[in-house]
Structure 1
Amino acid sequence: MVSAKDLCPCGLGEPYPDCCGPLHAGEREAATAEQLMRSRYAAFAVGDADYLLRTWHPDTRPADLDLDPAQRWLHLEILGRTGGGPFATEGTVDFRARYRHHGRTHALTEHSRFTREGTSWLYVDGDHD
């Protein structure tokens, strides 16, 4: 659980209630593909599977999502992006996420694809190493 004093896990350095918290609560939507990607990373970090499913494109979304409570997300690094701005309809974000699982640190690098439907950015899929 994230408290009002905690910095958002997305890495922008803002308090969670001023950053990804309102997106997770459904109070506002991500304005860009990168903002959605950061908010999804934060959702993994805080264990918000409902948000992850809600922001996943219906064509590629799994029926359910079981998050591993032993996995601790540590750091997000944005490596690059294409498109995905406030007026775009598609975008990609390349990132590296570091996490700890059963005492070992791992890194996940992914090229993620996003699309906008109406006013909502959605995660489509990604290629990862």
Structure 2
Amino acid sequence: MNCYCGNLKTYAQCCQKAHKNMNKAVTAEQLMRSRYSAFVLANGDYLMQSHHSSTRPIKEKKDIVKWAKSVEWIKLEILETSKGYETDSDGTVTFNAYFYKHGKIRVIHEKSIFIKEDNHWTYLGLSQ
């Protein structure tokens, strides 16, 4: 089975590596993909760990996990990346995340900002 993030590799060869060691996500896009897979798996610990410390919603972890479990994830579509390579310190990823909720297909369309913290990629928040 292909990874939840849409990569043609298996989960074990792809996002699971980042879930076990965040430093394995060497680009902003890889971190974005691993965060999507973490939503699919309702992996709240990874979602908190991969969120930048200045914007991390610690108290909302239970709500995030509950919401992630309440929907059926369909697919991730990466639309655009800007910077975010291994040697960069920041970057953006624009994506669509599709899911079913209450019998309807929904989509999260977001342009996310990623920056490095302690030498690894983290999710900072939405681009304005």
TM-score, normalised with respect to structure 2: 0.89
Percentage of identical aligned residues? 38
1:24 aligns with 2:5: no
Cα distance in structure 2, aligned partners of 1:27 and 1:90: 16
Paired residues, number: 123
CA–CA distance in 2 between the matches of 1:22 and 1:71? 24
User: Runs of 5+ in structure 2 lacking a partner?
Assistant: none
Aligned-residue Cα RMSD (Å) equals 1.6
Do residues 44 (structure 1) and 48 (structure 2) align?
no
Aligned residue number for residue 83 of structure 1 = 83
Q: Is the 8 A contact 2:23 2:120 kept in 1?
A: no
| 2:100 alignment counterpart | 100
The answer as to whether partners of 1:56 and 1:122 remain within 8 angstroms in 2 is yes
Q: Is the 8 A contact 1:76 1:97 kept in 2?
A: yes
Residue in 2 that maps onto 1:12: 7
Distance of 1:27 and 1:115 partners within structure 2: 13
Letter in 2 for 1:99: F
- 1:29 deviates by 2.5
Say which SS state the counterpart of residue 16 (structure 1) adopts: coil
Partner of 2:53: 58
Compute the TM-score of the two structures, normalised by the length of structure 1. 0.89
What residue in structure 2 maps to residue 3 of structure 1? none
From the superposition, tell whether residues 76 and 27 of structure 1 become closer, same or farther in structure 2 (CA, over 3 Å). Answer: closer
The CA deviation at 1:84 is 0.3
Aligned-residue offset at 1:22? 1.5
Q: Distance in 1 between matches of 2:109 and 2:70?
A: 20
CA deviation map 1:38-81 (0-9, x unaligned): 00001001111100000000111101322222211111111101
Q: Supply the distance in 1 between the matched residues of 2:13 and 2:103 (Cα, whole angstroms).
A: 31
